[in-house]
Each structure stands twice: as structure tokens, then as C-alpha cells.
Homo-oligomer: A and B are copies of this chain.
Amino acid sequence: MRKVDPERQQAKRRQILEAAGDCFARRGFHATTTAEICAAAGMSPGNLFHYFPSKNAIIEALAEEEWRDTAAYFAAIDDDPADPLEVVLSFLDVVMVFASDRSYSRLALEVAAETLRNPVVCASVAAGDTEMRDGLAALLRKAAARGQIDPELDPVQSANWIAALIDGVFSRLALDTGFDPAREAPMLRRVVGRFLAKPGRGA
């Protein structure tokens, strides 16, 4: 009997997801063929099929991975941070670093478009989005308790609007070639900082 090496299996899966992610970012999900993914991954169709039965299964796995990464990011945050507002603003900086990576942002847009057609992709993206909004709302609650932000704001609603701004960054990248995330990162901090600040306070 052939032995299955789980680590080797995992590495192969990673290799396919990275190759496919590059293809989707470069040529779009629909235009990419499985033959192109095989070539990019250096793998036969039979071998690819062993890991992922279809191109849809690959984008579903990519969306799930993104969800897991978001969950891990927020799970790793200190339960009682000294400066919860800065933890929120630092997360925005991280988003802008990802947005600056053209391959990442193109893939994110392809995944977002696929949420309209593929319910499995939609469920993963929505789950990651919920992790992010819950994580942000928890931080905003702590920031309000420490007097860092306007206590009149509803933390859940404010987290939703921060999520809207983050979505909007990726739409800007799709539509406006002049939008440079590296240059705009301080503005995202500013928009969110001013929104959250107690009225009457400078920002």
C-alpha cells in the first residue's frame, strides 16, 4: 500500500493554490484554463485533479484560506491591548500593504466577483468578513471603554463602516489607476480616525 504523507500533500496543495492564484490574478478566473494552472504548478492534469476536482474547487480553497488568515489575524490580537485604537489603525495599515500587492489585490477582486456566482466562495468571504467585523467591533468597544473614541458610536455599526471603507479600497484599485495604496495609507487612518474621534477633538 502507498503511504500518504500529509505534509507532502499539504505542500502540493499550497503549490497549486499559489500557481492558480497567480494565474487568476494575471488573466482572470474565467479566462484561466486548468492547463495553464498545471503548467504554472509544474504538474500533470491527473495530479492536479487528485487535489482539486475543478477550477471552482481551487477558488473555493483560496477564499477559505483568506477567511482562515483573517480569523488567525484577529485571534492573535491581545485580549486587553493597551492601545486598542492603534490596533485598529495598524490593521488598516496591514490592509493597505496587501492592497499594494498587485497580485493580491487582483486575486481579491476575482474572488469578490465570484461571490456573486459561487455560494461556497460567498460563504467563505462572508465568514472572513464577519471575523473581521467582530474583531474590529471588539476593539472599538475597548477603545470606547478607554476613552479613546466617541462613546456615542455603536461599535458594531462603526465596524461595518470600516469594513465598507476597506472594500472600497479594492474597488478603487479596479477603477482608478491613479489610486496608490502606499500613498493613501495615511488617509485611510485619517478618515477612520476622524470618524471615530470624540466630537470637538482635533485630528
A residues in contact (CB < 8 Å) with B = 28, 30-31, 109-110, 112-113, 115-117, 122, 125-126, 129, 133, 157, 160-161, 163-169, 171-172, 174-176, 179, 184, 187-188, 190-191, 194-195, 197, 199-203
Chain B residues whose C-beta falls within 8 Å of the C-beta of A112 in the assembled complex: 113, 171, 174
User: Are A160 and B174 CB-contacts (below 8 A) given A116-B28, A194-B194, A200-B200?
Assistant: no
Nearest-CB distance from A194 to chain B (Å)? 5
Partner of A168, one of B133, B157, B167: B167
Q: Is the CB of A167 within 8 A of B161?
A: no
List 24 A-B residue pairs with CB atoms under 8 Å apart, sorted by A's residue number: A112-B174, A113-B116, A115-B174, A122-B175, A125-B175, A126-B175, A126-B176, A157-B184, A160-B179, A161-B165, A161-B168, A161-B184, A161-B187, A163-B168, A163-B176, A165-B168, A167-B167, A167-B172, A194-B195, A194-B199, A195-B195, A199-B202, A200-B200, A200-B201
